[in-house]
Amino acid sequence: MSQPEVPHFPMIIGGQPVSSGERHEVRNPFDLSLVGTCPVGTVDDVDRAVAAARAAFPEWAALGDAARAHYCTRIGDVFQAHAGELARLITLEQGRPIIANGFGSQFELGGCVGWSMATAQFALDDRVVLEGGGVRAVQKRVPKGVVGSITPWNWPLLIAVWHLLPALRAGNCVVMKPSPFTPLSTLRAAELLNQILPAGVFNVVTGDGEVGTRLSLHEGIDKVIFTGSTATGKRVMQNAALNVTDCTLELGGNDAAIVLPGAAIADIAPGLFFGAFINAGQTCGAIKRIYVSNEQHDTLAEALAAIASGTTVGNGLEASSDMGPLQNAPQHAKVKALIAQAVRDGANLLAGGTQVGEGYGLTPAVLANCTQAMGIVAQEQFGPAIPLVRYDTPDQAIAMANASEYGLCASVWGSDPQGLAATGDALDAGTVYINTHAELHPLVPFGGHKQSGLGTQFGEEGLLAFTDSKIVYERHRA
């Protein structure tokens, strides 16, 4: 019996499919089976894509805001019509279950639809900033030009939408480079969207770090948006600085959760578990460390361990799977090493940390009695492992939570309104959650402090980040 042909997903440049001679294989991270192939793009492909975007830009920018808003709605309709196909592709290449209690790859497609529709609703109106004494000054928002987008592997299509939709709505054209670990859903989405978008408005080039470097260095790029690690983000920023290119960077996070004394542990444990283990912990804004009082440490640790022990890690295509694998070998090795080192340093592994399947599946690990000095607390583990650290006073917990180079998100859990508010105010993070974590909304601005990023996404503020201010200053003469 002949084997089914492995699907190939071409790049999209200037509205046309493009395939190079060399092909890159993408494998399912749970069982390492071959999912599909895509081209190995080159710096020449980047140059062609930027040229196509620059050629398309004048007409796209002149189209008008209302027409581009309508395109955003049409993009949402495309995602809705192809949600089943794209969700399955995300599961195959990223590993996340299709359903997973509502937060699997189907949820990711729902987010793509929601962000598309929300982006269509924002306003880019002119604003009179001065009028009187014979002078009138009007602030207009004009598109930057061509946006270079570099996306990660953890939420491959949703983050692509977070980059793409505000860029298009503001009047820019886009050249996108997806992660080589998860390029297929982005390539298929680009193929579908290019059926409704003018040629050259949305281009996708696949490849390794050389392609990303060329994109961030390119003199034809007017803005770079990057989501990924802080180390890579610094290199992107350095490259962009050579052309004084504007950047939006959403980087790493080592999000702290503080459980205040007297919290109802049974009530908050499920929310803490979800905040830590959403997408198998592979989310920048997931909880990475939990601070809990000496009196409640053991109770919370046991509650989280019980939830972890009842969580099924498996193939994302199977309905029984609550959690998928880590996406790639380096991340799998990193998380296993951090767990092992924490145990050697005195942490108690109450649940998880065992291999599942032939690929990168790992059961969710709960580690009690961790210390601030342990690597699994000090570093962003970005995987299914959560350390619990004891504290004597809430002030000590705040100090430990803030003692990080990161400042993406944080959360406070408890039942005392004054204590929740005061602790939230004291935390240094771009988003502070109260009795929840890892929730995002297209109308709510999102960005990090310190080395967690630069700039803002979402909401009207995020849309304006893809524009330049242009002032028309007029003096009326008698």
Q: Which residues are marked as active site? A: 250, 284
Listed in sequence order, the residues at least 6 apart from 110 whose beta carbon sits closer than 8 Å to its beta carbon are 83
Q: At what angle do helices 156-169 and 184-193 cross, to 10 degrees?
A: 30
Q: What Rg do the C-alpha atoms of the chain give, in angstroms?
A: 23
The SS3 call for residue 379 is: coil
What's the DSSP call for residue 278? G
* d(C-alpha 258, C-alpha 392), whole Å: 12
Q: Per DSSP, what are the bridge partners of residue 259? A: 292, 413
Tally of CB atoms within 10 A around 310: 10
Tally of CB atoms within 10 A around 473: 11
Q: How far is CA 135 from the centre of its chain?
A: 44
Distances (CA, A) of 429 to 199, 329, 381, 424: 40, 30, 18, 9
Phi, psi (rounded to 5 degrees) for 59: -70, -40
Closest by CA position to 37, among listed 8, 66, 70: 8
